[in-house]
Every structure is written in C-alpha cells, then in structure tokens.
Amino acid sequence: MTERTLRGKVAIAGIGETIYYKHGQSPDAEFKLALQAILAACEDAGIDPREVDGFASYGGDRSDAPRLAAALGVHELRFSNMHWGGGGGGVAAAVANAGAAVHSGMANCVIAFRSLAQGQFARYGRANSLASVSGDDAFLAPYGLMSPAQRFAMKITRFMTDHDIRHEALRAIAMASYHHAQTNPRAVMYGRPLTEAKYDASRWIIEPFHRLFDCCQENDGAGAVLVVPADRAKDLPHKPVYLLGAAQGGHHRSAAPVHNAPDYASAHFKTVARNMWEMAKLGPKDVDIVQAYENFTGGVLLSLVEHGFVDPSTANDVLSLDNLKFDTGKMPMNTSGGNLAECYMHGLEMVNENVRQLRGTASNQVADPQVAAVLGGPMVTPVSSLVLGTEATL
Amino acid sequence: MSTALPAGLPAPAIEPLTQPYWDGTRAGRLVVQRCRGCGKHQWGPEWVCHRCHSFDLGWEEVAPRGRIWSWQRPHHPVHPALNGHGPYTIVLVELPDADAIRMVGNLLCPPDAPVSIGAEVEAVFEPHDAATPPYTLVQWRLVGQSAPA
C-alpha cells in the first residue's frame, strides 16, 4: 500500500499580502483586500490568476470563494473550502486543505487565504449586546465571560500555576514579536518598540497573566499563498517551499461544553502536533524557525510545549528574548513580528514569513534555514499546524 | 440580594435542552445531567451521553459544593454593562461529587482577594426576579464565609 501523506507532494509557489493596517484603517473593502492578496500571490508565482481553480480559508472568512472565482474570471472552480472554527485555529489547515485538494487531483492550483477588515465588521474583543444568549454562552456570558481572552484565560492560569511558570516567560514572547517588527517595514508595529518597562506598566486585561501586551491587536488586511503540485513548483520563478507535514483537529473532547474538556489546560495540540511530526518525519529539534500564533502569549507557551519545543520545567529559562531572536536565538520565533506586531492576519502572515525565510528573502533572515513550522491559533478547536521545508529536506 | 455583576449583561436563554437546570436553580437546587444508561454525570448539557451514547439523560440534584479548578479576574470591560465596574472574579469549579464536572461562575469576593486553586467553594443562588422570564444564576463563595462580599 502506498503511504498516505502530503509530505513533499505539494509546494507553496507564491505568496501575497496587502499593506497591513491598524484596525479600521483600511481604505479598501475587505473583499478588495482579498483580491489584492490573491493577485499578489499569483504574480509572485508567475501564474495567471485565471488558472486558479480553488480557494481555501478559515475562521468564517467573509470573502466568498464563488464570488472570488467570478471576480477574478477563473476558468473553472474545482475546490472551495472553509475550515470550521473561529479565529486562526484553521490557518495551517487551510493550507493543508489546499494541498490535499491539489495532491488528490481535485484541483491544480489552489489559493489559501485570509481577509480581515474588522473595522468594517464587529470587533472580536467586544461582546455583542444581545439581551439573551443561548448554547454554551448561556452558562458563561451572564458571569461576564464573553471575549476570546476570557474564554482561554483559565487554561493559562491553571497551566502556569501547575508548572510555576512566571509572567516574564510570556513577556519574552511579546518582546520577541515586537523586536522583530522593528526591522520589518511591513509590520504594523514597525517603529513602535516594546520595552520590559512598558510591558510591565501596561494595564491588566485579565489577571493573573494577561497584560495589554499579552493580547493580540486587531488589524485590517489580507494574505494569500498559492499551492501547486510539487512537480509544477520546480518550473516556477521561486525556490519551491514544500509542505512536509500538516495536521488539524483536537484531542479527546477538547471542545466539551462549558469548559469541561477533560484535558483542559491545553492549547489542544497534543494529538495534532503528534500527527504533524509523524507526517513530516521530523521533530521539534529539526526545526530552524517557529512561527507560533499569538492570540495571547499564554497560548504560545502551551503551543510550544505541546509541539515539544519547550519543556514546562525549563520554560522560565528557555523563554527569554535572546533565545527567540532571529540572529542569536537558539529558537528563532515569530521572526516577522507575528500577530502581535507584524499583523493580526490570523496567522496567514506567518505562513508567508516562513516561505520568505526558506527562500532566503526575509527581513530578519535566519541563516540558511531548511525547516520552518507554523503553529496555528491555539486553544480553539479545531487547531492546526504545519511544517515547511526546502528541497534539501525531501 | 445584590448581584455579583451589574445589571445589563445578557440573560441565559432557557432552551429545551437546558430547561431542567434553570428550573432547578429557581428552586435553589443544583440539577445537572445524569445518564440513565451508565449513571455518569455530564456537563454542559448535551442530547447524548458522551460515554455510552444513550439519549436517555436524566436530571439529578447534586451537592452544591466544589473546588476551584482555575480562575481569572477580568479588568477590561468587554460589555457596556461592565463599563466602570472594575475587576471581577470568574472561577471554574470542579464538582467532585458529580464525576468531576465543571461549572463556571463568579467568586463572591473583593476584587483584590487572593484566589487559590483547590479552595473549597459552595454555591450561592442569585435570583434575577425582575428579568423576563426570571432566572437564577449560580455563584460561588469560599466555604466558611458566611455572607458574600
């Protein structure tokens, strides 16, 4: 029986993104941002946009695939796919779904994308003002538990308390993103450095582990990657970046209602990470760069632990700014500024960053990287992650 | 009695799946799902038992006591009703007498009170009689504290 895998079967041939804007500041409609990013990814790949025959997104993307196909005049639509779940849990899954479509022969040339102009719609960090709420929320909202930060905070409290992890470990995660944004002109926080003193003085969003700088911003923009069969990528302008492994989902009852997941103090990557490494035939020690989605810095800690990058018993030492820097760190992380400081594009900007890194064209270029991972939005379900590699890794 | 949080937060919709719970809290009783197939408690409410797949889920009263499994203290007001209110404490309470199901509520305590994982708590029923329809929330206080703060 032939091995069922995506390892080395598909490649990212093109990346694109819009200008990244602060929340509410995009002059363009969300759908126009999506079009701009997709056209940029096609141009980067040297492929006529009319050849695109599939679209994959996540997080309730409002830029409808059939409308995109009509607007761009694609010859035929063969694959349209929206990954379940909110926020950036599906970022790696969208790329993997595009890859699965391409490898299975359902489509030839699929865009995975995210478009987001929250200024034109509701904010994530503000609850709606319904008079009554149903489902899970009926047991949460009346107690003032409504925002994403609040949905996840008790996982962080429990994990950090159990393992005696200090808030300074989370500060290092925030500092790394801001540090890298200072040398990335695309970053929303370019020219706006963060110091330890500024972090420590920032207001509480939620005690005991969420200060202002532990929480992502909300932004406007769009990002896209173009996924093609590995064989085709070799004939295109850029060095192909291959998908080595990807997985999505969640462990046993991770989405149990009213915070009743048996293994609760988790980012929900325990099985997903295992499956991703298995497909990639790699482990955390083989990775040169990690992009770890920051909705909240505590979620990054959990993601890193569950993917095997950090042992909880040494997290206080390992998670230091120096260790996370692109040039001197042992574990370069969020090298473009991540969600906190490049742009909260629900992690799609992290996929683009890894492609740049593996091509050797990043703003904060890591020396000769071969393998780069994206750990998607943590603590939701389903979550997803992926690992990319150069031709040398095949 | 006063309520833990200001008026104006969303009320719980009373739905067919969850009505026995809300009927219970109105009567000052903590009533949760218990499977008639395998005898285990489950929470939150679901149409099927996640262990044995029986649809024959009953509702039974459980001891209104538990332990703090985790907690948080939001400062940033995410809803207009919370503007100017200041920090409040949310706890995740494990019920050891009911197969360790967990419930979310507010801990009735001063906004700067230390909170300890593992602390014993007991339920405090908080009626919202003026609501249409009226409902009663379940709050928590540390065992041994006579009156809520």
Domains and CATH numbers, chain A: 10-119+216-393 (3.40.47.10)
| SS3 call for A38 | helix
pLDDT reading at B1 higher than 70: no
Active site residue A293: yes
Task: Verify whether residue A21 is a known catalytic residue.
Answer: no
Residue A160 half-sphere exposure toward CB, CA atoms < 13 A: 24
Q: What is the pLDDT of residue A55?
A: 98
Which one of B43, B70, B88 has the shortest CB-CB distance to A144? B88
Closest alpha carbon within chain B to A159: B70
Burial class (CB in 10 A: 0-12, 13-18, 19+), A51: middle
Find where tokens 């209104």 sit: B64
A348 pLDDT more than 50: yes
User: Tell me: the pLDDT tens digits for B21-53?
Assistant: 999 999 999 999 999 999 999 999 999 999 999
CA-nearest residue to B14 within chain A is A134
Q: Would you state the structure tokens that stand for residue A99, as one six-digit string?
A: 């890859």
For A87, which DSSP code?
T
Q: How far apart are CA A128 and CA A134, in angstroms?
A: 13
Q: Which residues of A touch B51 (CB under 8 A)?
A: none
What digits encode the pLDDT tens for the residues A109-161? 999 999 999 778 777 777 766 789 999 999 999 999 999 999 999 999 999 99
Q: Is the bond preceding A208 in cis, omega lying within 30 degrees of 0?
A: yes
pLDDT in tens, A241-275: 999 999 999 999 999 999 999 999 999 999 999 99
Rounded CA-CA distance A127/B10 in Å is 10
Mean pLDDT, rounded, for A27-42: 98
| Cα dihedral across residues A157, A161, A166, A172: positive or negative | negative
Look at A264 and B70 and tell me if their CB atoms are within 8 Å. Answer: yes
**Does pLDDT of A1 surpass 70?**
no
Asked if the Cβ–Cβ distance from A132 to B13 is below 8 Å, we say: yes
Distance of CA A34 to CAs A57, A137, A296, B27, B37, Å?
Answer: 11, 31, 25, 53, 51
Q: pLDDT tens digits, residue range A369-384?
A: 999 999 999 999 999 9
Is pLDDT of B147 > 70? no
pLDDT above 90 (res A208):
yes
Question: A203: which DSSP letter?
Answer: P
Contact of B51 with chain A, judged by CB distance below 8 Å, is answered with: no
| B134 CB within 8 Å of a chain A CB | no
Query: Which of A137, A209, A251, A260 to mutate against chain B (most B CBs within 10 Å)?
Result: A260
Instruction: Give the CA count within 13 Å in the CB-facing half-sphere of A203.
Output: 7
Mutation target for B interface from A143, A206, A211: give the one with most B CBs within 10 A.
A143
Tell me the three state secondary structure of residue A301. Answer: helix
Lowest mean pLDDT across A130-134, A199-203, A349-353: A130-134
Interchain CB contact of B130 with A (< 8 Å): no
What is d(CA A327, CA A335) in angstroms, rounded to the nearest whole number? 10
Evaluate if pTM is beyond 0.90: yes
